[in-house]
């Protein structure tokens, strides 16, 4: 059986036609597509449908963070958007995480579909140690990520979002079945941009990352298909 491609391409655009065109080109080179808040605010559910109809797994990255009832109601809507993966903020707390996870599973069961993986964002990969401390995360970033990972796992989340630098420690703490979704992936031949805590795709995969979120190194390349193919080859797929 061929290995599953862990790469989800971040289609960071507000242009529906551009997102769908990029997605069509990349089928066969990647494992799925991520659409985030910028895209969703601009295009709504119809914009997601333009990509999901291509039949590839869709990561709906809205990073929900509100009171439990509000997040639960929003999560039911996310299930209707046919997401394979979706995000909440771990810092929303145990009750919010539990409400999100329960709502996703309940709504999916009622519709006879597979629930999305509900993964909790720990500390954004755009934050380094100084940035994390400035917003109130005291102590080493790694320890804060591990603390939030434990909270998410204990509260029913399917996994977390963390930088590649925390993957091996979280994997050791949370076990093999806890999904680790990892942005901050930069091939050695690409620029790091605004990401602070980065590794290459092969390095992150070797540490135990399940999903590699890669945007600009692919979509901003002169030839996105060739860039995706190069990453695929580096992963031995």
Class of residue 3 by CB neighbours under 10 A (exposed 0-12, middle 13-18, buried 19+):
exposed
Active site residue 146: no
Describe the crossing of helices 167-174 and 141-154 by its angle, rounded to 10 degrees: 30
Q: How many residues does the chain have?
A: 237
Are 149 and 182 contacting, i.e. CB atoms less than 8 angstroms apart? Answer: no
Active-site residue, selected from the candidate residues 63, 179, 196, 232 = 63
Active site residues: 63
């Amino acid at each position: 059986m061929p290995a599953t491609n862990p790469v989800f391409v971040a289609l960071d655009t507000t242009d529906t036609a551009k997102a769908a065109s990029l997605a069509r080109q990349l089928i066969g080179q990647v494992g799925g597509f991520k659409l985030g808040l910028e895209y969703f605010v601009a295009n709504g559910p119809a914009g997601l449908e333009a990509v999901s109809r291509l039949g590839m797994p869709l990561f709906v990255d809205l990073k929900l963070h509100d009171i439990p009832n509000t997040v639960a109601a929003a999560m039911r809507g996310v299930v209707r958007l046919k997401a394979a993966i979706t995000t909440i903020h771990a810092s929303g707390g145990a009750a919010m995480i539990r409400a999100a996870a329960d709502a996703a599973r309940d709504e999916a069961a009622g519709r006879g579909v597979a629930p999305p993986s509900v993964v909790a964002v720990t500390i954004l990969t755009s934050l380094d140690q100084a940035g994390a401390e400035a917003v109130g995360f005291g102590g080493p970033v790694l320890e804060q990520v591990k603390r939030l990972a434990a909270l998410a796992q204990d509260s029913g989340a399917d996994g977390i979002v963390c930088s590649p630098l925390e993957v091996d420690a979280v994997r050791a703490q949370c076990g093999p079945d806890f999904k680790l979704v990892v942005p901050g992936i930069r091939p050695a031949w690409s620029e790091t941009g605004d990401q602070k805590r980065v590794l290459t795709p092969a390095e992150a995969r070797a540490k135990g990352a399940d999903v590699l979120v890669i945007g600009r190194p692919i979509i901003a390349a002169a030839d996105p298909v060739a860039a995706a193919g190069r990453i695929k080859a580096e992963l031995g797929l």
